[in-house]
Structure 1
């Protein structure tokens, strides 16, 4: 079986790590195409070295641009690759422009497409990611769902026959890295200056357009974070840095201490050592949940509804308007057991098994 994985953004690289390892264990042919959607080394290259992912076989170097321009450039670049290689599967990950571009390029060439992390829904049509994930699910031949909730979404959309429950590959890598952190093999070395890893602190990230593009909203969110009574390690995504510069203000204020995005191992170590997380990232919400840390999500909804159970994750779309914002963001961890809604940490092997089992049953 030949599989081409198409990735391009930070969360996809984390998911690629256990898949690449599982492909090797199973003796399957696996090519990696990196679109270059995240072209910043701290958002891309560091993950290949830090997570032991094989170097990309092909790097498209697409870089930044509008959604349409970026997706179109990927489409034209992927066409000849898929036509030449004719894999048994093009495996796409998540909900980025790289995801939808690879899915469209493959289906137009009648190359089977498998979508990892299928069935997630925010039901917020303002999010570009929501359109990407829905369109990819309806185009793909095999839908690899992480949770029963995702399976239910797919069934309601008439996609049950194409769907398989495989678990969440993010659990595989998150728990492995957590164990390395707890064993003392991974340390926090990249926290912003002024944040003492031995004292209580929060980890924060912001990058979604709804939170960063409106200067009044972004300022209000940052002011709310800055007023918290504990240091906040703001790991600044390039989009946030660029928007702040365009708006003409500094990110650092009050309790906010600004640093760079961390390699995945250091990010897990930072969360393990923290008192909690504040974010608008889907991946970091789930990682906080898996690592037993309370998360406050600056969004009106989440795709990972399981994290809301027991108060592990709380939605706070307008933190500056909440009278109890400080209590929410600095609340202690719940005592409710998180269970295993995302699987047992062996999802990648199940993904490879399902791909091999269904290989050849699709129209070539």
Structure 2
């Protein structure tokens, strides 16, 4: 069996690492299986791309489409044109896509138009917010895939609701958590740990990337000022993208508690999360990692495509206003951590289940 694995952005790299490891394990056992790794180039900054390949022991891609940035349409079109050429030159039995970035949807469409089967890892998750580009990518990818690998029974139920045949849906667990478990013993202090005199549980991690939060200077300043105040005696470590830092300009000097640091590699970032007091984020994926690490997480969004991180895990949706965040955080300080657990099958073996199922089906 020949599989073409597609990766395009930071979350993809984290998700494909255990899948590749599971394939290599089967090969070592004498199973006839191989893969070709295609990097679309959607993320091309070293801290968002090459560093993750090095740290997670992902082999060099067989092909890099080098599409880089552009509008949603320009980037998606560039991926499709380049990936079609890649598939025509390199036969495969299956294209495996992960997550919900532009590369996921674009490569799934190209594969299906060439009559190649598609497996979608992390299928079925939905935020219910069609204004999110990721939501459109999820819906389109799930509408044409052949094999659906889900992280939760809730995601599986979503697919049934959308008319997917039950026999094509496989609840396997979470490959992102596979990567976390496989690398927990390797996480390392970031270079700035001593410089900023960071101590375990004495700082908050902040991540922001959604345009509604970071693209307008006044609203971003208001949000950061509110977080700076709520932190009180704790530092706030904010790995900030250079573009976001440029939007802030000289106002980065106005905050008492916020430390602006460079985007981090996987091992350093996970060290920061594991040893933090809490995480404030507008990301979906980080709420999965904080759930397993039992770190309180406050998500600056009105919705989430990962409700299990709320119902079972440590995540709390706080909406998009700084006032609501401050209110929720104050309640947390007063009442302490709420009881939480780890979702079913988030046990580090999702990738092995995926490859075993594909070997049975193909």
Aligned to 1:65: 70
Do the aligned residues in 1 keep the contact of 2:291 with 2:341 (CA within 8 Å)? yes
272, 284, 302: which one aligns with 1:282: 284
- 1:112 aligned to 2:117? yes
Q: 1:336 to 1:326 in 2, by over 3 A?
A: closer
Change (3 A) 1:168 1:260: same
Structure 1 CA distance for aligned equivalents of residues 194 and 215 of structure 2: 24
Q: CA deviation at 1:337?
A: 4.0
Paired position in structure 1 for 2:304: 302
Counterpart CA distance in 2 for 1:329 and 1:233 is 19
Question: In structure 1, which of residues 127, 130, 144 is the aligned counterpart of residue 132 of structure 2?
Answer: 127
Aligned to 1:362: none
Q: How many residues align?
A: 352
Q: Does 1:348 align with 2:348?
A: no
1:66-123: per-residue Cα shift (whole Å, max 9, x none)?
Answer: 1110110010000011122221110001000111110111111111111110000000
Q: Is the 8 A contact 2:205 2:278 kept in 1?
A: yes
**Of residues 46, 54, 57 in structure 2, which corresponds to 1:52?**
57
Q: SS at 2:44's partner residue?
A: coil
Q: Name structure 2 gaps, 5 residues minimum.
A: 28-32
User: How far apart are the structure 2 equivalents of 1:87 and 1:329?
Assistant: 51
| Cα distance, 1:168–1:195 mapped onto 2, change above 3 Å | same
Give the 3-state SS of the residue equivalent to 2:131 in structure 1. Answer: coil
- Structure 1 residue aligned with 2:25: 25
Deviations 1:10-53 (A, max 9, x none): 01000111011001011120111001111100011001110111
After TM superposition, give the deviation of residue 331 of structure 1 in Å: 6.8
CA contact (8 A) 2:312 2:342 kept: no
1:148 and 2:156 correspond: no
* Aligned 8 A contact 2:291 2:342 in 1: no
Give the direction of change, closer, same or farther, for the CA distance of 1:61–1:308 in structure 2 (3 Å limit): same
Q: Runs of 5+ in structure 1 lacking a partner?
A: 360-364
User: Match for residue 93 of structure 1?
Assistant: 98
In structure 2, relative to structure 1, the CA distance for the partners of 1:295 and 1:93 (3 Å cut) is same
Query: How far is 1:197 from its partner?
Result: 2.9
1:2 corresponds to: 2
In the superposition, the TM-score normalised over structure 1's length comes to 0.91
Residue 231 of structure 1 pairs with residue 235 of structure 2: yes
Stretches of 4+ aligned residues off by more than 6 angstroms = none
Displacement after TM superposition at 1:346 (Å): 0.3
- Deviation, 1:189, is 3.2
